[in-house]
Amino acid sequence: MSQDAFDEGLAALKSDLLRPEGPSITNMSEYRFAVLPYKPNKEFYVRKQVREVSDDLKSKGWQVFELPVNKLLLKRLRNAPQEELDSWIGREKRLVAKGKKERALRTAIDNLEYLIEGQNGIAKDAIEEIHRLADVNQVDTEKTLVWITRMGSLYPFFRTSTLLKHLDGNTRRIPVVVLYPGRRVDKTALSFMEETDADRDYRPRIYP
């Protein structure tokens, strides 16, 4: 995923959002959910370009919202039982003190997977926030966009395929676009942070 590919994808996405007949970011009218990959080391460039597109959409009467996943993760951690967190941290510190850093990382990953994976994890929080935005702002689904951002904060604790799978069909027809730090491997496969094995058979459209 080159910078040129990201720019091409963002331009195509904007064009599809602004179609006269209404947003069309997939081949299915009821399925307004797409993924826009970018190179992880281009995070700040991507934020700048996305902000410019958002400002342009707003000038055309759109409502544009950002849903940063790192905030959902921090909220999950704050709401976890303190005794549980203390136990996790204590175990990781003991492993590091013994020079078992890889095992400590694996323990941290296992603990956070328990907290954020599955349909009752981060995906549930994201869906609830999308629905809350829709209700509070009385959105017009023809002129509303939600960016899901800061996905990199979940690496290496979370396979993003889980989040995308559970968001599928739960966006209330609001166009939702996941800004995805990673690499497109083929037509329906993505490698998170350009590090993980590719997850395949994504239903959302992957731009460009």
Q: Which residue has the higher pLDDT, 167 or 202?
A: 167
Q: Token pair for residue 127?
A: 């869906």
Q: What class, spelled out in words, does domain 3-69+119-206 have in CATH? A: alpha beta
Q: Reply yes or no on whether the pLDDT at 30 is more than 70.
A: no
What DSSP line would sit under 8-45, residue for residue? HHHHHHHHHHT-TT---SSSSTT--EEEEEE-GGGHHH
Q: Reply yes or no on whether the pLDDT at 65 is more than 90.
A: yes
Looking at residue 82, what is its pLDDT?
92
pTM, rounded to two decimals: 0.91
User: Can you give the residue ranges of every domain in the chain?
Assistant: 3-69+119-206
d(C-alpha 177, C-alpha 65), whole Å? 11
